[in-house]
């Protein structure tokens, strides 16, 4: 398993819902968490490893979240923050996002979960959900990056 980098076409695909909550999904989410940590990220969506399933992982302050088929139910508040992305390592974009989210989805065992997220958690979830819909940070507003991103990715670790 390895990271995919812009302009890889998989990053622009809209992901399909997960239908089977099986050993394959458990192993995928475990490997994604490991790869994310090795590359010093706080979030990673399935298309970033070449898989077009609606699944992402994130970890902030040693608390992990694996969310499958996520859906934002409600948002409130707004703040701007500069974001980076493991799939666009040289790009930083100032993005306005909601401060608070109410969302639901499934854990790897197929149990439906509901979360209220605020602050950095809300931001990371929105960033990862963008990935599931083929949206990248370079797509936001006046910060659009039109230049080619370097293809030399020797710093990205694989598992």
What is the spatial distance between Cα 82 and Cα 103, in angstroms, rounded to a whole number? 23
Q: Is 128 a catalytic residue?
A: yes
- Tokens at residue 106, please? 């499934």
What is the spatial distance between Cα 103 and Cα 51, in angstroms, rounded to a whole number? 22
Residue at token pair 């390895």? 2
Asked if 8 and 127 count as a contact pair (C-beta separation under 8 A), the reply is no
Residue tagged active-site, from 24, 78, 128, 158? 128
Task: Report whether the peptide linkage leading into residue 7 is cis, meaning its omega lies within 30 degrees of zero.
Answer: yes
What amino acid positions are annotated as catalytic residues?
128
């Amino acid at each position: 398993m390895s990271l995919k980098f812009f302009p890889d076409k998989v990053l622009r695909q809209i992901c399909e819902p997960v239908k089977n909550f099986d050993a394959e999904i458990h192993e995928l989410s475990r490997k994604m968490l490991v790869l994310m940590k090795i590359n010093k990220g706080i979030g990673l969506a399935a298309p970033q490893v070449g898989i077009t399933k609606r699944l992402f992982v994130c970890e902030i302050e040693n608390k992990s979240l694996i969310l499958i088929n996520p859906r934002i139910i409600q948002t409130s508040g707004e703040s701007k923050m500069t974001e980076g992305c493991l799939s666009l390592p040289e790009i930083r974009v100032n993005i306005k996002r909601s401060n608070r989210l109410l969302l639901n989805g499934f854990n790897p065992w197929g149990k439906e979960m509901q979360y209220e997220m605020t602050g950095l958690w809300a931001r990371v979830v929105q960033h990862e959900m963008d990935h599931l819909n083929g949206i990248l940070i370079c797509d936001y507003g006046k910060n659009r990056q039109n230049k080619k991103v370097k293809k030399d990715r020797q710093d990205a670790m694989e598992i």
